[in-house]
Amino acid sequence: MATLNTRVLFFSLCLILSKKATSQLDELWLVGDEDDDPLRALQTRHERREEKCDYSVGNWSYDETYPLYDSNCPYLSSALSCQRNGRPDSYYQKWRWVPKSCSLSRFDALKFLGKMRQKRIMLVGDSIMRNQWESLVCLVQSVLPTHRKKLTYNGPTMSFHSLDFETSIEFCWAPLLVELRKGNDRERVLHLDSIEDNARYWRGVDVLVFDSAHWWTHSQKRSSWDYYKDGNKLYKAMDPMVAYERGLTTWANWVEINLDPSKTKVIFRTSSPRESGQKCYNQKHPLPSSSEPHVPQQSRVLKKVLMKMKYRVYLHDITTMSAYRRDGHPSVFKRAMGEEEKNHRFAVPSSDCSHWCLPGVPDIWNEMLSSIILTKAA
């Protein structure tokens, strides 16, 4: 009887294991239902498992081994060179981001360049995206001989070239992604359904990183356009988030029609938080982490548009983690000041709480970007 029970238990266990294996095999083929290659399906499944790592949730940890490059990097704009402009503290340079559910590797310039050998990466967007581009260039340039790197310019683009790796790190100025044009009467019109004048510079790029948020919420007083145009209709006013969604939809349609997902990886970075007035002045440490971070309207609209896309776009969420870093903005150190100004800087009305000092917070965005590129097919 004991032997019989043992055999029944053994066969029951085999049946359970067999069903589990069959279920896993079914899952594998379901993942690969658009591709008959099971190896490709397995790789896709592996990538999806990796994407469960949410880099955006974590905390800032002080680390004396940072920053990752010298503040005298020759590719830094003067407005971002806070140390050169007289900022007395350097604490803001020494914080690394520690994700809650996974690890974030320190930026490795040679590894990044090796992955991007004979490839192009382009960061597309506004001045905050240029901020990130300068950070990325400074992160890689120190491992390259002086005579084996150069800058080139073409229309709204500027490119840093590593001649030995045949790699280019490019920036394209397109803060709205869609086209802003002047009409015959010199009035400025934002064309919500036109993008090709900007997008022609994005073709042939291996990794495209986009951002577009801040310009859409400029007040009427600061707006860069007089009218919206959608189809044949002109609008003097429109809800900014409605316009933003229409503009992003035009971008999404262009991506799906013109890009090949096997050749071009597309990443969309969420909006960088900005403070008003003097809120970032004299800040020296990150704010404590909040349990319920604020999600900007732009992020909700962006996620809504991405969810409708068939093209696989990686959402690079930097909004909440960056919101804790009021200390990282240039504030009054967006330019060099004389001794008298330094002594009375609290009275200076002009303070930059939108951009970021370098070295600083965008270096961590680029550590995340590098991890995204290195751990997934690009």
Q: Which two tokens stand for residue 251?
A: 């971008």
pLDDT in tens, 17-37: 444 443 333 333 233 333 444
pLDDT of residue 351: 86
Q: How confident is the model at residue 336 (pLDDT cuts 50, 70, 90)?
A: confident
Q: Which two tokens stand for residue 134?
A: 């300068």
pLDDT of residue 274: 82
Q: Provide, rounded to the nearest whole percent, the portion of the chain with pLDDT above 70.
A: 79
Rounded to whole angstroms, how far apart are CA atoms 110 and 78?
Answer: 27
Q: pTM value?
A: 0.84
Rounded to whole angstroms, how far apart are CA atoms 156 and 149?
Answer: 20
pLDDT of residue 129: 98
Flag whether pLDDT at 377 surpasses 50. no
* Mean pLDDT (whole number) for 264-293: 85
- Edge to edge, what strands does the sheet with 265-269 contain? 149-154, 157-162, 167-173, 120-125, 207-210, 265-269, 313-316
CA distances from 268 to 32, 40, 123, 202, 228 (A): 25, 24, 10, 14, 24
Flag whether pLDDT at 200 surpasses 80. yes
pLDDT of residue 348: 53
Rounded to whole angstroms, how far apart are CA atoms 243 and 230?
Answer: 9
- Active-site amino acid positions: 127, 352, 355
Q: Which two tokens stand for residue 227?
A: 């009218």
Q: Which two tokens stand for residue 279?
A: 């809120």
Locus of tokens 């949730």: 57
Strand partners, 96: 61
Pick from 212-226, 235-249, 358-372: least confident? 212-226
Q: Length of the chain, please?
A: 378
* Mean pLDDT (whole number) for 40-47: 41
